[in-house]
A and B are shown apart, each in its own frame.
Chain A
Amino acid sequence: MLKLLKIEWMKIKNYNAFIILSSFFALGVITVNYIVFIVNKNMISQTQAANLMGKFSPYNFDKTWQTTSYAAGWLLLLPALLLIILLTNEFTYRTHRQNIIDGWSREQFIHIKIVLAVLTAVFSTVLVFITALTFGLSSGSSFSTEGISHIGYFFLKALSYNMIALLIGVLIRRTGFAIGVFFIYMGFENFISQLLDVWSIRLRSRQNIDLGSMGDYLPMNSADGMLTFPDNPLKGLAKGVMPTDYYWVVLGLTVAYLILFYWWSVNRVVKTDL
């Protein structure tokens, strides 16, 4: 496995798009959180409402894990795009064929890309962990691991995005087209997800049927659904009409979708003409 990974590294270490997109992502995670941190510190916490809510800061410990994961979640598009480009490049240059001709099996070819997707998710998560820790410590509150599970959700979300990106890359093969499909799919799923959310709220308030927030049951939104901006005390008032969070269902679906994407990508590469 390490041998294959070394070869994968030889392919990407001198590739400009890799260097640019990774730096954008790293800088982005830090910058986005810094902006939220500054805005909160200098503006929101000075207002009357903030005083009413008590000393609420999204970067205090136990909240920092959630805030950072949520804010960085928006940037996960970048590593997903990078993975699409790295994979579809192989199809464009036909190097996927050459790798196999030279002596990789089809399984090795797709599995090393999946390992790359997992590693990208791991690196993103480590970066978010360090960022959350740094902002948490600079907010002046005392360290706590409460709510650190959000870092885990972030990892699942990163992995889900990466696996969807790989699947689309394997199915579409052309770089530009695959990126287009990725965005269109994302927009489409968000649209359906919001319709389902509205429907869930109606079912709950009118017929008292609670199926949870059904918008969170779709592939990209299931990973998304677990990452929300920290609740402030006012939000509790809305609980009467909102559907219950079926946390375990959403978590289960996220994992199920990951398995599906894995199986579909591998199957496609192993079974069809390349």
Chain B
Amino acid sequence: MSILSMENIRKDYGSVQALKGVSFNVPKGTVFGILGPNGSGKTTMLGIIMDILKPSSGTYKLFDEVPNETHRRQIGTFLETPNFYHYLSAERNLKIAAAIKERGEGDIPRVLELVNLTQRKDSRFSTYSLGMKQRLAIASCLLGNPEVLILDEPTNGLDPVGIAEIRALIKKLHLEGKTIIMASHLLDEVEKVCTHVAILKKGELVATGDVNEILATEDIVEIGASNISALKAAVQQLGGFSHFNEQGNLLQLFYPVGKAPLETINQHCFNKGIVLNKLNLKKKSLESKFMELTN
């Protein structure tokens, strides 16, 4: 079963196209990351799924059905900013959320404890720090232990301990079989937490699929010699790498992680009468992968 399926969703704001026909599926039981730089359309997309925004064209389904408010009640959603009544306490705010979700108030102490807000439950929302507001929003999502969670930049504004706690919580929920859809501009976060990923760039879907395939990184071997064209000829006979690049008077050979045979390369070139003046193994950084995917 698909938790969410999107079919050619477009959203225009005047002449600005925020989403240019996005389609993908979120299978049940996955942690599905929506990755993209700021302004790539992540929040717009989640807003459409939650009926906050109207798509210019296209359709989507929740739980394989035409979506309505009863589907939204089964999903714990935190979109963009923590939205609560400023003049009410955390607990009163959660009572309102629980009533709208038709979940009953019994679960409120549990979710407050999960995000460490039990002691401050009677304080007004307006007195909360940014991190506490964020945690209250996550607590509200968890009300009634829903099978599906949608989290938009859930670790935004949290301190390192808070970030680690939220990531651990997401992993735990995944192990319990829940489906989690998470938007993030942090590649490293998506890589650590998600099983699947969709990459958005300026409103277009660049890639979607298993996180290990899409975000697979490579080792790069940089070699140099005084006669670069002879080196190139020698390397072409060598094989074993996925592809290579010429960069100035260096060649870059790309290998799957941990598979670069440095000694073999050196020996091979030497046998061909080429003495290397540079042999260097580089790990490709996640940042450069992100730039490559979104530029």
Chain A contact residues, CB within 8 Å of chain B = 3, 6-7, 10-11, 14-16, 89, 93-95, 97-106, 108, 271-274
Contacts and interface: CB of A to CB of B under 8 A. Distances in A.
Given A93-B84, A93-B86, A100 B72 contact: yes
Between B79, B87, B92, the greatest number of chain A beta carbons within 10 A of the residue's beta carbon is seen for B87
Contacts of B53: 273-274
A3 B87 contact: no
B54 A273 contact: yes
B73 A100 contact: no
A11 B85 contact: yes
A274 B52 contact: yes
Contacts of A104: 69, 100
A97 B83 CA distance: 8
Nearest to B137: A98
Contacts of A98: 83-84, 97
B281 interface: no
Contact of A101 (B68, B79, B85, B87): B79
25 contacts: A7-B96, A7-B99, A10-B92, A16-B87, A89-B85, A93-B85, A94-B81, A97-B79, A98-B83, A100-B50, A100-B51, A102-B72, A102-B77, A102-B97, A102-B101, A103-B69, A103-B73, A104-B69, A104-B100, A106-B51, A271-B54, A272-B54, A273-B52, A273-B54, A274-B52
Contacts of A102: 72-73, 77, 97, 100-101, 140
- Among all A-B residue pairs, the 10 with the closest Cβ atoms: A103-B73, A98-B83, A94-B83, A102-B100, A105-B69, A273-B53, A101-B77, A101-B50, A103-B72, A7-B99
Contacts of A16: 87
Nearest to B76: A102
B239 to A, nearest CB: 54
Interface string B88-126: 100010011101111000000000000000000000000
A274 B88 CA distance: 23
B129 interface: no
Given A101-B79, A108-B69, A15 B96 contact: no
Nearest to A105: B69
A99 B101 CA distance: 9
Contacts, number: 74
A93 B88 CA distance: 12
B271 interface: no
B52 A3 contact: no
Interface residues of B, number: 29
B70 interface: yes
Contacts of B99: 3, 6-7, 10
Contacts of A272: 54
B83 A93 contact: yes
Contacts of A15: 87
A16 B126 CA distance: 14
Given A97-B79, A101-B52, 10 more contacts: A6-B99, A7-B99, A11-B85, A100-B51, A100-B52, A103-B70, A106-B51, A272-B54, A273-B52, A273-B54
A97 B69 contact: no
Contacts of A273: 47, 52-54
B73 A95 contact: no
Between A3, A15, A94, the greatest number of chain B beta carbons within 10 A of the residue's beta carbon is seen for A94
B100 A7 contact: yes
Contacts of A97: 50, 52, 79, 83
Contacts of A108: 69
A95 B102 contact: no
Given A93-B84, A103-B102, A105-B68, A11 B77 contact: no
